[in-house]
Each structure stands twice: as structure tokens, then as C-alpha cells.
Chains A and B, each alone.
Chain A
Amino acid sequence: MIEVRDLTKRYGDKLAVDHLSFTVEAGRVTGFLGPNGAGKSTTMRLILGLDHPNAGSATIDGKPYRDLSRPLRTVGALLEAKSVHGGRSARNHLLYLAQTQGLPRRRVDEVLGLVGLQDVAGKRAGGFSLGMGQRLGIAAALLGDPQVMLLDEPVNGLDPEGVLWIRNLMKQLAAEGRTILVSSHLMNEMAVTADHLIVIGRGKLIVESTTEDVIARSADKSVRVRSPEAARLATLIEAAGGTAVAGDKAAPGAVAPGAITAAAPVPGNGNGLLTVSGLNAPKIGEIAASAQIVLHELTPMASLEEAFMELTSGSLEFGRREGGPAQAGPAQAGLPPAPASVDATDGSAR
């Protein structure tokens, strides 16, 4: 179990991690999400004792990392930053790590076999492809058969086969009762891997909940509807208290759904495609049925990606903010980020 309490790290005048608290439980994959620069890697480095926090604590099974003797037997970590000497062979890299833990030499060959690097074990790691390098990092993390694993962006830059391999490995390790914390900025990747999510932005906790819960809270926020009678349907939807806008809201020039009022013109073009917000998919289906309107499509746009965009919209490190003054909600830039609780999303959900 990993426990982070009130962790704070400052680089110069920039607050990279801001009073962050969360718990990572054993037996499941916990996804650690946030946009680039949110503080995910820094948090992991603080947990692993590579960086010193300005305040707060991070413990693994109740102990700070630095107090672990033979730490690789307790914790395995895959860092995003390069941490292998390119001139050293894969086997020698793992050998020296094994020696620090008092592990036998044969363990090195075992983990090399586990990750499928046995044929290149004597080759210099500097010549490895991205995928092979990632496998070597995983091998180092598995070396001490640890109960706790931290993986920083493990699928970054991997081909589909490599992504699948890592995904299955993490699930399997969690199924063995281990504690797995995996960071990513790819929400959809986490949706298929993680059981539990910790979402941070600008170093602060935004949400800590189950993956289903995070997705569910974003469900029914918008629904794609396609109908040959789109204009008539839009009028009915607005009468029922929803808002409808023609076309795909992701299309260029589309306006954020929250900005559309009932009085906004609803054209019937756009291949009969509407993006509806304020009403869930079953309700829209009922409206259409009662008015005998044919529907060609009725899709709740409930992706983790969208939930994440909404959750972190106020906390992007680099300017990527969308929407004009009409965009409302506590997560808007300039306002202090919402308190670290699940309520943070409610205001911006409209």
C-alpha cells in the first residue's frame, strides 16, 4: 500500500506538487492521471525518495522509501526518464541491481526471460529500441519480485503489441495481490487498464475514485443523436429542458454545449446530427418515440477522455483552454482549483 499525505514539492517558485494526499491499495491497478506537467512524475519521484519533498510524506507499507532495506524486494519502479547506462549490457545492468539486493545471478536471467530479452541480454542497452528499453525497465522493476510497483507512463511510445503486453502484465500483477500505481496522460488507456483512478492537475488532487465512477459522472453529459427529423427533435429536446446543437461538438467551430441556450438557432443540416446535453440518452429516446421520430443514432458520449478534459480543464499546464466567456464552472482558469473531492466536477458538469 502506498500512502501519500499532504505531499508538497516546490521547484523554485513553481509548485509542482501541492498538498497532495491519496492512498494506493493492493490488489488492483490504480491509474494516476493528469495532463502533461500535472506533477505525476514528480509525485512518483517523491514516493521513491529520488526527490525531497518540501512538506508532507509518502510511505510504502508504512515506511518512507529511504528506510527500506533492499528496497527492490519491496518496490519495483519503472521511471519515465532514462535510467540505464547505454554502454552497459542489459544483463550487466540487471546484475549490478541484483547484487545491491543480494539477489542471486540466476534471478537476472529469469527476469530477462520474463520480459523476452534473453536473446539480447549481452547487447549494449544503448542500441535498444524504445520497446526493448521499456522491457528492460520492467525487468529491473520485477527483479526483486516486489509487492508494490510504480510505473511512470509505461506505454509511452510503444507499438500496439507492446501496449497490450504491458496492459496484461499490470492486470496480472494486480491479480496476484500486488499494489500497482501506473501513471498516464492517456485516459482511454487507463479506462481499459485501471480499476481505480487518481486524477491530478497542477499538482493538486482532482478526483480519487473508481474508474466506473469517474466515467459514470461524465456520462449523459452529452449525447450524439442522428435523425432525419433533427430540427423537429431539437425543438422537442429544448422543450424538455435540454440543449441541442447541430453537428459534432468536436467539429471545428463548434461551441461548447454549455454555451447554447434554448433560444439558439437549431439548423437541420449536418447530416441530421445533433449533440444534446442536459438530457440523458434514455430520455431522448423516449422523446423521439413519443413524437414518432426515427433515430439513426443515439450515443452517450461517456468517454474517460471527455471526463478527464472536463476535470482538468482548469489545471492545464500549457495553454490549451477552450471555450469563451460562456464556459462556466469552478474549474475555469483563474479561479482556485476545486477542493480535493469528488464534488469538484459537479459545477462544471452543466
Chain B
Amino acid sequence: MTTQSPTASARVPLPATSRHGLAGNLMSAEWTKIRSVRSTIWTLVLFVVITLGLTGLLTWLVASNWNGPKAGARDARVVIDPVGFILGSGLGLGQLTLCVLGVLVITSEYSTGVIRSSLLAVPKRLEMLSAKIVVFALLLIVVAEIVAFGSFFIGSAILHSHVPVSLGDRNVTRAVVGSGLYLTVLGLFSLAIGAIIRHTAGAITTAIGVVFVLPILAGLLPGSWGAHVNGYLPEQAGTLVGQAHPPSGGNVLSAWEGFGVFCLWTVVLLAIGAYMLQRRDA
């Protein structure tokens, strides 16, 4: 028992505690998980490229066709809410990649089986999930705000000769910052769906269905209660904050109210995901 064997020779005294507290340790670990896998890095790169690229492309198309034939109605909409148009042009598709990323961050643990290693290391499952949520949220808010401001500057530069718009204009800064916030919460919303469903394909389909398809279906509902249902849907409520001058009529919520509703959706889904993580066998 006391003889030093090859294994034992490597038994250096391990430090009793590390420099950081437990929360810091778990967050370092979650950051390592995110950065050490190609799929998450590439999805994030795709988000930046698609969003900035499409913003540039779509605003350029509008600018180069300004006052062109059949462009009047569209030009009028851009004039009413130029920042909403700029931000919406790239984010409309770019946000898809964040849905995928949010889902992947948790479902890839299940599909690869690494969840077992993770839960052996951190058997208090809520601690693991909390660290994952915090790290992912911090990463997203940085990237999403950079992309939101980047989109705005690209788009406003291209549109400048037709519709000058600057951060100093009414509600414009709120719309840009708000878009970054919306994207961050969207990532967490998708993570929650991933935590509940656990299968990558199923969770991505669900997240995209809720964000993109549900509003279309709800739009078919008749009357004012249709408008109310639509207004409270996650994507419809959440994107209000990214518009400086939402088209009047049909909006039942103000910008920040809408964002609050979206956050509420996300918190409820995260709570369900946490409850199920705690209850289910891994």
C-alpha cells in the first residue's frame, strides 16, 4: 500500500482548492467546452458573416434601387424606420444560426454522451446548467452587440445618401442595443428548448418552428384576439425592441414590454429544462 508505483509516482499533491471559487471553476469549464468544439465556433462565425453580409447586401440593393420602379412602398417603409430596416435585414436570417448554436450547446452533450462525463464531474446538475447559461449568455451578448452595432454602421453608411440615420436619433440606440439583447435571449431560448428536447434535430426544428413558423400561423388568426396572440409570441414580442418606430397598428406591446415578454418565455422554458435535467436519468 505504501510502495510507490509508476502511477503513484505521478501522484503529485493536488491543491486543496483552486484560485477561483466553485462558480468560477464551472464557468471556466463551460467556456472550455464551448471554445474547444468546431461546431460551436463555426456556427458563431456563420452568424457574424451571414448577419453582416446580408445587412450590407440588402441595404445596398435598396440603396441602388432607390426611387426605382415599384420601389415606392418599400422606400417609404425604410424612411419611417431606417434602423429597423437595417437591423432586420441581416438579423432575419442570421438569428437562425443562433437558434442552432443555442440548441447545440446543450444537445451536443447528449448526442456525444459527454453529458455523462459532465455530470460525473458536476453531479449537482443545476450548478452545471447555471454555469452553462451564464457563460453562453456572456459570450452571446458580446458577439451579438458587436454584430448589432456592426450591422447598423454598415447599413447606415450605405443608406446615408437616401435616409441619414445616426445613433443620436430618437430610439435608434435603443433599437441597436435592443437587437443585441434580443439575439442573446434568443440563444438562451434555444438552449432551453435544447435542454428540454435533448435531441439536436428535434430541438432545432422546434426552435425554428416557434420563432419563424408560429408567427405565420398566428397571423392567420382572425380579429383582434389573433393580433393579441401574435403579439405575445416569443419572436414577435422580442423583436419589437429592435425597431425604432414600429409600424402602428397591430402592436399590443411597447418595445420593452415585448422584450420582457420574450424574457419571460425564456425564463419559463429554462426553468422547465432545469427541472427536467434534475429529474431525468442522464
Contacts and interface: CB of A to CB of B under 8 A. Distances in A.
Nearest to B36: A92
B25 A99 contact: yes
A103 B121 contact: no
Given A72-B120, A92-B36, A82 B5 contact: no
Interface in B178-233: none
A97 B117 contact: yes
Contact of B1 (A88, A140, A176): A176
B122 A100 contact: yes
Given A79-B116, A100-B29, A145 B36 contact: no
A62 B270 CA distance: 33
Contacts of B282: 50-51
Contact of A99 (B3, B29, B116, B119): B29
B117 A99 contact: no
Interface stretch (A63-71, A206-214, A222-230, A304-312): A63-71
Contacts of A45: 281
A264 B187 CA distance: 77
Contacts of A79: 116, 120
A221 interface: no
Interface in A17-51: 27, 45, 48-51
B249 to A, nearest CB: 48
Given A100-B25, A110-B12, A86 B117 contact: no
Nearest to B38: A87
**Which size class do A's interface residues fall under?**
35 or more
Nearest to B121: A100
A101 B121 contact: yes
B121 A51 contact: no
B26 interface: yes
Contacts of B10: 110-111, 113-114
A96 to B, nearest CB: 4
A102 B17 contact: yes
Interface stretch (A167-175, A290-298, A313-321, A327-335): A167-175
Of all A-B residue pairs in the complex, the 8 with the closest CB atoms, nearest first, are: A102-B18, A92-B36, A99-B29, A83-B116, A96-B32, A82-B113, A51-B281, A100-B121
Contacts of A104: 14-15, 18
B8 A103 contact: no
Contact of A71 (B12, B112, B123, B281): B123
Contacts of B25: 99-102
Contacts of B28: 99
Chain B interface SS verdict (over half): helix
A27 B1 contact: yes
A181 to B, nearest CB: 15
Contacts of B114: 83-85, 88, 93
A169 B14 CA distance: 21
B7 A114 contact: yes
A177 interface: yes
Given A50-B116, A169-B7, A99 B32 contact: yes
B32 A68 contact: no
B236 to A, nearest CB: 35
B117 A140 contact: yes
Interface in B22-70: 22, 25-26, 28-30, 32-33, 36-39
A200 interface: no
B265 to A, nearest CB: 29
Interface of B: 1, 3, 5-8, 10-12, 14-15, 17-18, 20, 22, 25-26, 28-30, 32-33, 36-39, 108-109, 112-124, 279, 281-282
B22 to A, nearest CB: 8
A71 B125 CA distance: 13
Nearest to B21: A102
A95 interface: yes
A2 interface: no
B39 A65 contact: no
A97 B29 contact: yes
Contacts of B120: 48, 50, 71-72, 75, 77, 79, 83
Given A85-B112, A95-B32, A113-B10, A68 B122 contact: no
A259 B118 CA distance: 53
Contacts of A142: 7
A84 B115 CA distance: 8
A189 to B, nearest CB: 21
Contacts of A66: 123-124
A250 interface: no
Contacts of A49: 119, 123
Contacts of B123: 48-49, 65-66, 68, 71
B20 A84 contact: no
A176 B7 contact: yes
Contacts of B15: 102-104
A65 B12 CA distance: 24
Most buried by B among A96, A110, A113: A96
Nearest to B278: A52
Nearest to B109: A85
A204 interface: no
Contacts of B279: 52
A175 B6 CA distance: 12
A72 B14 CA distance: 12
A87 B39 contact: yes
A107 interface: yes
30 contacts: A65-B123, A68-B123, A71-B123, A72-B120, A72-B121, A73-B14, A81-B113, A82-B113, A83-B114, A84-B117, A88-B36, A89-B36, A92-B32, A93-B36, A95-B36, A96-B29, A96-B36, A97-B117, A100-B26, A100-B121, A101-B121, A102-B20, A103-B14, A104-B15, A104-B18, A107-B12, A107-B14, A172-B5, A172-B7, A175-B1
A176 B116 contact: no
